[in-house]
Amino acid sequence: MTYEMNRQDDALIISVSGRLDTNTAPELQEVLDEALDDVSELTFDLDDLEYISSAGLRLLLVAQKRMTKQGSMRVCNAGEAVSEVFEMSGFDGILTLE
Amino acid sequence: MNRIAELTVEATVENIDIVTDFVNAELEKLDCPMKAQVQIDIAIDELFGNIAHYAYNPEVGPATVLVEVDDDPLAVVVTFIDNGVPYDPLVAEDPDTTLSAEDRPIGGLGVFLVKQTMDDVSYEYKDGQNILSIKKHM
């Protein structure tokens, strides 16, 4: 898993690639805990994300709960494998997918 | 059912990648469709991850992963075996996937995803071992 962050004022775009799983999600979670301070518009760009397991879903849910309080969150460009996991888990109903 | 490969490693989250690579190498020999392979990889992350987190906590112990093939219909079976505390992951209630983000609990999704993507998931505790198998038709 690798990620890239692009911050402009109170908007943050995080592009995540590779695998968001048990091993990699905690690392990104730690980064997010600090990076989301004062962010009101959060965008996850998942264009290059190969797959996501429940550890990655957990990270998105934590981010969604936080952003519901402090602004908004969008999840963009999820591929087929990732979209399928969103559907099975019901996350297509709780995330703003674009 | 034919056993085609077996691997025993320490049950740690760091070894999930080793287990995944090992199973993928077998799946590639079977010309497993990419979609099924991704679903099996996710299942490995969930199930081996659970063993790594809970089976021997706070100690570390071994886990064995078997890859077997069923011929009719063609299916791959991956079995995870550990000697840790008895734990049946299949008894947990499925999460309510209709709840809103605010009401959704953090966690409890891993085994549910595995049950959704695999054609069969079975568990037994035998001779001091947790034996958890997933089956995926190809």
Q: Are strands B129-137 and B75-82 parallel, antiparallel or unpaired?
A: antiparallel
pLDDT for B107 equals 78
Closest in B14, B97, B102 to A89, CB measured: B97
Domain range holding B50? 2-137
The span from the CA of B50 to the CA of B47, in Å, is: 5
| Tens-digit pLDDT profile for residues B7-16 | 999 999 999 9
Q: Structurally, how many domains does chain B consist of?
A: 1
Indicate whether B4 pLDDT > 90: no
The span from the CA of B134 to the CA of B138, in Å, is: 13
Contact B101 A62 (CB under 8 A): no
The span from the CA of B47 to the CA of B36, in Å, is: 16
> What's the whole-number mean pLDDT along residues A51-79?
97
A68: number of Cβ within 10 Å: 14
Contact A65 B102 (CB under 8 A): yes
| Tens-digit pLDDT profile for residues B27-49 | 999 999 999 999 999 999 999 99
The interface pTM score, or ipTM, of the predicted complex is 0.88
Closest in B38, B46, B100 to A54, CB measured: B46
| Cβ-contact A84, B71 below 8 angstroms | no
pLDDT for A78 equals 98
Contact A88 B116 (CB under 8 A): yes
Contact A54 B97 (CB under 8 A): no
Q: In Å, how far are A13, A34, A39, A94, B131 from B47, measured between CA atoms?
A: 31, 30, 35, 25, 11
> What's the whole-number mean pLDDT along residues B78-95?
95
Indicate whether B108 pLDDT > 90: no
User: What's the CATH code of the domain at B56?
Assistant: 3.30.565.10
pLDDT for B5 equals 95
Domains in chain A with CATH codes: 2-93 (3.30.750.24)
